[in-house]
Amino acid sequence: MDKKIGVYICTGCGIGEALDVDQLSTVATSECNAALCKNHSSLCSPEGVKLIKDDIAGEGVNTLIIAACSQRVMYDVFDFEGTILDRVNFREQIVWTHPPKDEDTQMMAEDYLRMSGARMKATEPPEPFKPEQEMARDILVVGGGVTGMTAALEAAKAGYNAVLVEQAQELGGFQKNVSQNVVFPFKDVQDNEIEKLAAAVTNNDKIKVFTGSKIEKLSGGPCLFNATIKQNGSTSDHRIGAVVLAAGWKPYDPEKLDKSLGYGVSPNVVTNVQFEERAKAGKISRPSDDRALKTVAFIQCAGQRDPNHLAYCSSICCFTALKQAIQVKRQDPDTNVFVFYQEMRTPGQGEDFFRKAQSEGVIFVRTQAPEVLATESKVAVEAFDELLGEKILLDDVDLVVLATGMVPATSFGEDYKAKKATEEPPKKEEMVASVDSIFVSDILNLEYRQGPELPELKYGFPDSHFICFPYESRRTGIYPAGPVRRPMGVSSAIEDGTGAAMKAIQCVELTSQGMAVHPRAGDMSYPEFFLQRCTQCKRCTEECPFGAINEDEKGNPLPQPTRCRRCGVCMGACPERIISFKNYSVAMIGDMVKAINVPEEYDEKPRILVFCCENDAYPTIDMAGLRKMNYNAWVRIIPLRCLGSLNLVWIADSLSKGIDGIMLFGCRHGDNYQCHFVKGSELANIRLSKVKETLDRLALESDRVRFEEISITDYEKVPGILDEFAEKLVEIGANPYKGF
C-alpha cells in the first residue's frame, strides 16, 4: 500500500492551550513523513470529521494519525473506511495528566507523535483470513439435557442447523429422572416438562439428533471443525461451525462421604439424587421397610464446601432440599421435616421458595457439622443448633437425605497434561507457565496439540472466566454451558443454553468473515508465520493460551487461524521473531521504541517506557487522566494487545536506546486471573524473570525493569507507581548505554 499520511491534531479539551501545536506540526511533517498536518478545535465535531473526510477524498490521504483523545473513546466517530488509522492520546495521557506549556509535556507529545509515525510506517491493512475450504455454519451441541436441547432449539430458531449428540439412548439428561422441579420465579414446585422440550427438539427439522452416540474425533477450528460422530458402531463425519459443550454433571460419589453422615450404614440414609428416583417412582416411604414417613431430615452440604470432598457449593442443593421437603409435606402434612443447613442459599426470588417451605411447616436448623447417628435399624441426627447454642437430638428419623453435589462431566479421566509432564519433564532452566489440567474425559476428543479436551479453570470446570466472560472456554468456538460450566439448576441451564448458542452463532458469523471472536471481536488481522526460519522450539504451540496452533511431526507449528484470538502471545514467545500480524509486529513496536527521542545524560531527563496491556491497564491510566491526576513526565506508554505478546527483544532495544527504566503493566495472573487472554500477563512475568538474569550479567541493574499488576480499579495507584519508579531510577542513575 502506498501510504499518504495525514496528521490531525485536535486543539479542543485543553490540548491547544497546553501544547505548542505549531511545533508539533513541524514534528509531524518532518519526522513522521506526514504529507499534511492540520489542526481543528474540535476534531470529533461534524466539521472536524468533514475536514478529515475531505482530505481522504480530495488529497488521497489513506493513513491517519489523529492526535486527540484516547483510542478508547470516539472510535465510532473516527472510523474511516479504507484507511489505516492510529490515535495519539494527547488528552488523557498528556494534557490532563501533566502541566500545560511545560517543556517535558511538549517533549512527551512530540515523542508520541514520532512513535505513531513509526507505527503507521510499519502497519499494513489487514486482510481477513479466507481458508480454501468452505466455512461451515452448523452448530454442534454436545449433550442432550436441558442445556443442550435449549441451545439446539435456540440455534435452530435463529436459523442455524444444529447437530445434537447425546450419550444416552434418550434425550433428557439428568432431568429425565426428575418428577417435579422448581424454576423461576420460584413460587412453587411444578411438574417437570422435559418431555415437551425433548419432543420440540426431535420434531425440529433444523436439529439432527444423535442419541446413543459420542464424538469420536473433533478436528479443525471454528467454521472448519470436522466432527466424527459414532452411533451404534457406525461413524459419520460432519462439518461444524461452532460447538456448545453441554455435557452435564455427575453426582458426587456418596461412598466417599465422611462416615459421620451415615451413608451406607442404614438404608434409610440416601442422597438427594436417590430421593429423586424414589419421588419419580411415586410414593416416598421409609426405604428399609416401605413404611410411611413420620420424620425426615435433610442434611445440606454433604461433602460440599469441604476441601476434602467438593470444595465448592453446587448451588442447587438448597433448592432441591426445599423442593423435596415440600414433596414430603405434600404427601403427608403431618410428616415432620427438618432441614439441617450451613447457609440457606436461595438467592434473589429463590427466597420465596424458602418461605414456601416454611409455610408448609418445614423446620430449619442452622448448624455446621450435623452428625447422622445411624445403626442398621435406627437413625438419629445430632447437631449443634446455632440459635439455641446447644446440641439437639432428633431421633427416630425415618429418612435422612444427604445433599451431595455436582461434579462436571469434564473432570473425569486421566490428567493429560500431568501425564505428559512426567513423560517429558521440562528442561531444567526452562520456566513454564502454570499448568491447567486437561482431563481425558472422552467427551470432545479434540485433535489439538495441547490435549483432547477443554482445559479446566478450577475443580474440573472448563470455563475460561466465570464472571467476566461466561461461556468462554480456552478453545475458540467451543462454548461450555450448563452444569458442566458451573453447578446450576434448570433455570440457569436454560439461560446458559441460550447464551452459549448465541456465542456459537457470533463465532460462526465473525469467523466466516475472517474476523476474530471475543475479546478482539472483529479484528481481521491474524498471525503469519515465516516458517523458513522456524527452529521448532515449540514455544508458540506450547504457550498459546487457546491451543490454536497444532504441530507437524517435525515440530513445525501448524497455525489454525480460525482458532486464534489474536492476542499475540505466540509473537511474544517466538525467539526467532518469525510471527507477525499485518498491523502488529515485533519490528513495529521496536521501531516505536526507537522513535523515542532520548535526551543525553546531562539533560537529566530520564525516560521510562511502559509496555501496557490495552485491555485493563491502558484504560486505568486513562481513568487517572479523567481524574486529572499528575504523574511523571518521563513516561512513554506503548499499548500492547496483551502483555503476553511482549517480546524480549523490545527490552533489549529499549535499554540499548538509552531508556532508563521499563515497566510492564499487566493484569492479575494466577488464581482469579483477570487477563483477557488467560495466560498473557503470567507469561510476560515469566519472560521478564529471564530478562533480569540477562541484565545482571550485563551489569545493568535488574531494578530497571519492573512488572506491575494493574486492575481497572487501580487508577488511583497508577501515578504513585510511576512516580515511585522514577525516583528509583534517579537513585540508580542514568542508563550507561545512553548515547551509544
Positions in the binding site for another protein (CB under 8 A):
295, 334, 336, 338, 354-355, 358-359, 361-365, 382, 385, 387-395
CB of 382 to another protein, least distance (A): 6
Give the count of beta carbons closer than 10 Å to the beta carbon of residue 554: 7
Q: How would DSSP label each residue in 555-577?
A: --EEE-GGG-----HHHHH-TT-
CB of 371 to another protein, least distance (A): 10
**Residue 2: CA count within 13 A, CB half-sphere:** 1
CB of 498 to another protein, least distance (A): 34
Q: Which is nearer to another protein, 306 or 382 (CB)?
A: 382
Give the count of beta carbons closer than 10 Å to the beta carbon of residue 351: 12
Tell me how far apart the alpha carbons of residues 237 and 218 are, in angstroms, rounded to a whole number.
10
CB of 315 to another protein, least distance (A): 20
C-alpha R_g of the chain: 31
**Separation of first and last alpha carbons in the chain:** 34
**Residue 298: CA count within 13 A, CB half-sphere:** 34
CB of 279 to another protein, least distance (A): 22
Q: Which is nearer to another protein, 142 or 383 (CB)?
A: 383
Cell of 80: 474511516
CB of 295 to another protein, least distance (A): 6
Q: Which is nearer to another protein, 244 or 357 (CB)?
A: 357
CB of 360 to another protein, least distance (A): 8
Per-residue b/e over 42-80, b at no fewer than 16 CB within 10 Å? Answer: ebbeeebbebbeebbeeeebbbbbbbbbbbebbeebbeb
Residue ranges of E strands in 204-293: 207-210, 213-219, 225-231, 234-240, 242-245, 249-251, 269-271
CA angle (191 as vertex; 187, 193 as ends), nearest 5: 115
- Strand, coil or helix: what is 327? helix
Q: Which is nearer to another protein, 392 or 652 (CB)?
A: 392
Q: Which is nearer to another protein, 335 or 492 (CB)?
A: 335
CB of 359 to another protein, least distance (A): 6
CB of 358 to another protein, least distance (A): 5
Tell me how far apart the alpha carbons of residues 98 and 637 are, in angstroms, rounded to a whole number.
14
Tell me how far apart the alpha carbons of residues 142 and 140 are, in angstroms, rounded to a whole number.
6
Tell me how far apart the alpha carbons of residues 31 and 26 are, in angstroms, rounded to a whole number.
8
Q: Which is nearer to another protein, 293 or 596 (CB)?
A: 293
Q: Which is nearer to another protein, 388 or 468 (CB)?
A: 388
For 231-342, where are the alpha helices, taking DSSP H only?
272-281, 317-331
Integer angstrom CA distances of residue 222 from 141, 304, 641: 14, 37, 22
Amino acid at 681: S
Q: Which is nearer to another protein, 27 or 362 (CB)?
A: 362
CB of 284 to another protein, least distance (A): 17
Tell me how far apart the alpha carbons of residues 446 and 485 are, in angstroms, rounded to a whole number.
18
Q: Which is nearer to another protein, 388 or 431 (CB)?
A: 388
Q: What does DSSP say about strands 528-529 and 579-580: parallel, antiparallel, or unpaired?
A: antiparallel
CB of 275 to another protein, least distance (A): 19
Q: Which is nearer to another protein, 393 or 521 (CB)?
A: 393
CA atoms 490, 495, 499, 501: torsion sign:
positive
Give me the residues paired with residue 550 across strands.
558
Tell me how far apart the alpha carbons of residues 365 and 358 are, in angstroms, rounded to a whole number.
12
Q: Which is nearer to another protein, 167 or 295 (CB)?
A: 295
CB of 400 to another protein, least distance (A): 14
CB of 282 to another protein, least distance (A): 25
Q: Which is nearer to another protein, 43 or 400 (CB)?
A: 400
CB of 390 to another protein, least distance (A): 6
Q: How would DSSP label each residue in 71-123?
A: TTSSTTTS--TT-EEEEEEHIIIIITTS-TT-HHHHHHHHHHHHHHHHHHHH-
CB of 326 to another protein, least distance (A): 13
Q: Which is nearer to another protein, 323 or 692 (CB)?
A: 323
The alpha carbon of 678 is separated from its chain's Cα centroid by a whole number of angstroms, namely 6
CA angle (136 as vertex; 134, 138 as ends), nearest 5: 165
CB of 159 to another protein, least distance (A): 48
Q: Which is nearer to another protein, 336 or 681 (CB)?
A: 336
Tell me how far apart the alpha carbons of residues 463 and 470 are, in angstroms, rounded to a whole number.
8
CB of 299 to another protein, least distance (A): 15
Integer angstrom CA distances of residue 326 from 175, 278, 331, 340: 18, 14, 8, 15
Residue ranges of E strands in 608-716: 608-613, 635-640, 661-666, 705-709
Can you count the helices (H) and strands (E) in the chain? 19, 32
Q: Are 504 and 139 in contact (CB under 8 A)?
A: yes
Q: Which is nearer to another protein, 342 or 358 (CB)?
A: 358
Q: Which is nearer to another protein, 251 or 361 (CB)?
A: 361
Q: Which is nearer to another protein, 216 or 385 (CB)?
A: 385
